Structure 1
Amino acid sequence: MQHGKYRFIAGFLALPLIIYAIFVISPFIQAFQISMTDWSGLVGTSKYVGLDNFERLWNSDDFWNALRHNIYMLAAIPVVTLAMGLFFAFMLNVGGRRRKNEVVGGVTGSKLYKLVFFFPQVISITIIAVIWFNIYNPDPQDGMLNSLLGAVGLDSLQNAWLGEKSLALICISAVMVWSNVGFFVVLFSAAMASIPREIYEASLLDGANRIHTFFRITLPLLWDTVQTGWVYMGIIALDAFALVQIMSVNMGGPDGATDVMPLRLYQTAFRDSQFGYASAMGVAMLVVTMTFAVLTMRFARRERIEF
């Protein structure tokens, strides 16, 4: 009977696993193979070079510069995005004032706020990049940000933004936070909706304030969702290709201040026709991403709380 059950399960899984192996596992294996070659992208030009591409990568200042920017984004963007998502979700679900019919509830107009926060998720990342590129336009007349600063008398704060080496990456990171925080507001709101209201009501009746309620009830019960969101947001931070390509000066400028690993890989492959070297970068990105995911799942692990 057991053997029949296993055959039945295997029969259903066989086709999906084959498709997954062809379209997901196979490209990874091919990337490893290509990274061991000096291939220009043309048929018949592949030459096996062993680990030379990885040695070249190790000694490349451009690669380490791009990796440093990705690590900065990896350290900052998930923290800011998830913190804002948690705060807004908490306020929209349980952070409002007490009403006659309910002890726990969100702020007035919470449904409308959720729609507004989620709006960037329905816009293409390309459109978002173009919109913010024009907002950061340094022209005081055409650039919305500089024009707004001038209108309120803060001309001294006007800047080149994307053209300023010390600000360019921060500006792009801010756009990444803005475009993703709404997703986590909705995600955390859905998770908070599953927490019994009686728990909040009991804590408030015992004298707990909103801060205690958040750190002692909401955050522990949402930790699994936060952990998953951290990995997801970390992967987004390690990418950043579309925003950097469209918004940065000369694709990664000024002077390499916004260069990131995916953009470096793209330029190496499709501009310089060094597909073997670019594949080595892809393998390095895979290692960094997997290391981040494993460390996050390992050190953010907590005992599961059930209610």
Structure 2
Amino acid sequence: MRAGSRRFIITALAVPVLLYCVLVVSPYLQSFYISLTDWNGLSPERNFVGLANYARLLDDEVFWISLWHNVIAVVVIPVATLALGLFFATMIRVGRYRARGGATGVRGAAFYRIAYFFPHVLSIAVIGVLFSNVYDPTASGLANGLLGVVGIDPVNWLGDKQTAYPAILAVIVWLSVGFYVVLFMGAMSSIPTEIYEAARLDGASRWQIFHRVTLPLIWDTVQVAGVYLGIHALDMFAIVNVMSAAGGSGGPDNATQVLGNHLYLTAFQDSRFGYATAIGVALLLLTLVFAWVSLKVTRRDRIEY
């Protein structure tokens, strides 16, 4: 590399790297430091307590309940969302076959694309309020109204420990599916139709075509989507804070509590910013470990066509 080129690259990258260090790296480093103090978030004094906050995590029952709920979400949300997203994308993009022309999209594919994606443009607050009304414990709620049609008594969806968390997970899946339908449709559109035609001529069934052709060719997209969904499942603060019982407390009886909401309540309700930051650092490390493990486990040889 010539000296002039090297100088140009260094000059061009200097400002972006500086901004990245100031706006991204520096807050992370400050967070690590705050997690080693007993700061209350208001006083300028920060007493250094070392690893005491992390030791407290080991005895914090709510922390472990929240962690377990996040682990459940990391399994349920990616699996359900990817399965539904792949199914709907496949049905829309290659849902029918012609005698000539191979696999084609279903009629009204553009409408379906917009309909599935529409929930993704709504804010979490709007969706939380909307589904809080859908899950209204009286017979006037949409969910209980449908149950009433078949003679089932109303269910207190968000007020019962057995149904509260599954109900919120269902909302997150509903919210997420549309984006991945569009994403997978875009990936499928890059697959040459000749490959589908050849598979049909060889007598492959729809499932075999999906399993042996479509899925391997869009695997890179599916892999990234799975990691992103897992990271999203480790957050969940906004939807839990809006929908959980008792004004975002993670209730009833911590049945919907997650790490993000536990962090928020610890910081802004209990004024324990040092301990809340330790929860945040634990969540960060958990997210990094999940992303690394997911990429390692789902790694496949790249298929080119």
TM-score range, shorter chain: over 0.9
Whether 1:137 aligns to 2:136 is yes
Which residue is 1:99 aligned to?
98
CA distance in 2 between counterparts of 1:193 and 1:48 reads 56
Residue 155 (str. 1) matches residue 152 (str. 2): yes
- In the TM superposition, what is the alpha-carbon distance from 1:117 to its structure 2 partner? 0.3
- Secondary structure of the residue aligned to 2:158 is helix
In the TM superposition, residue 101 of structure 1 has moved relative to its aligned partner by 5.4
Shift of 1:43: 3.4
1:192 paired residue number:
188
Q: Distance in 2 between matches of 1:226 and 1:193?
A: 14
Q: CA RMSD in A?
A: 1.1
Correspondence for 1:72: 72
Would you identify which runs of 4 or more consecutive aligned residues in structure 1 move more than 3 Å?
none
2:295 counterpart (294, 297, 303): 297
Amino acid across the alignment from 1:291: V
1:215 equivalenced with 2:214 (yes/no)? no
Shift of 1:52: 0.2
**Residue number in structure 2 paired with 1:284:** 282
**Which one of the candidate residues 271, 274, 279 is aligned to 1:273?**
271
1:247 to 243, 246, 252: 243
Q: Which SS does the other structure have where 1:44 is aligned?
A: coil
Equivalent residue letter for 1:113: Y
For 1:203, the equivalent position in structure 2 comes to 199
Question: How far, CA to CA, are the matches of 1:248 and 1:154 in structure 2?
Answer: 27
Q: Residue 235 of structure 1 aligns with which residue? A: 231
- TM-score w.r.t. length of structure 1: 0.96
Q: 1:260 aligns with which of 258, 261, 266?
A: 258
CA distance in 1, matches of 2:132, 2:187: 34
CA separation in 1, counterparts of 2:262 and 2:163? Answer: 20
Amino-acid identity (%): 51
- SS of equivalent to 1:227: helix
1:63 partnered with 2:60: no
Q: 2:164 aligns with which of 154, 163, 168?
A: 168
Per-residue deviation, 1:107:
2.1
Q: Within 2, Cα distance between the matches of 1:44 and 1:186?
A: 48
CA contact (8 A) 1:77 1:177 kept: yes
Output aligned runs, 1:103-118, within 5 Å.
103-118=102-117
Q: State the one-letter code of the partner of 1:138.
A: P
The residue correspondences of 1:29-68 to structure 2 (distance < 5 A) are 29-68=29-68
CA distance in 2: counterparts of 1:217 and 1:148, whole angstroms? 39
- Return closer, same or farther for 1:207/1:101 CA change in 2, 3 Å cut-off: closer
**TM-fit CA distance, 1:131:** 0.4
Q: C-alpha displacement at 1:199, in angstroms?
A: 0.5
Match of 1:22 in 2: 22
Cα distance in structure 2, aligned partners of 1:193 and 1:10: 39
Give me the whole-angstrom Cα distance separating, in 1, the residues matched to 2:157 and 2:44.
46
Q: How far did residue 148 of structure 1 move?
A: 2.2
Q: Secondary structure at the match of 2:280?
A: helix
Structure 2 spans left out of the alignment, 5+ residues: none
Question: What's the offset of the Cα at 1:95?
Answer: 2.0
Q: Is the 8 A contact 1:95 1:210 kept in 2?
A: no
Output one character per residue of 1:219-276: Cα deviation in whole Å (capped at 9) or x when no partner: 1111110110011101111111111111111220111100000000000001111000
Equivalent pairs, count: 303
**Contact kept in structure 2, 1:40 and 1:274, CA below 8 Å:** yes
Secondary structure (helix, strand or coil) at the match of 2:183 reads: helix
Q: State the TM-score, normalized to the length of structure 2.
A: 0.97
For structure 1, the residue ranges without an aligned partner over 5 or more in a row are none
Match of 2:7 in 1: 7
1:175 and 1:230 mapped to 2: Cα distance?
18
Aligned mates of 1:149, 1:64 — CA distance in 2: 34
CA distance in 2, matches of 1:140, 1:285: 39
Q: Tell which deviates more after alignment, 111-120 or 7-16.
A: 7-16
Quote how far apart the aligned CAs of 1:110 are: 1.6
Where does residue 122 of structure 1 map in the other structure?
121
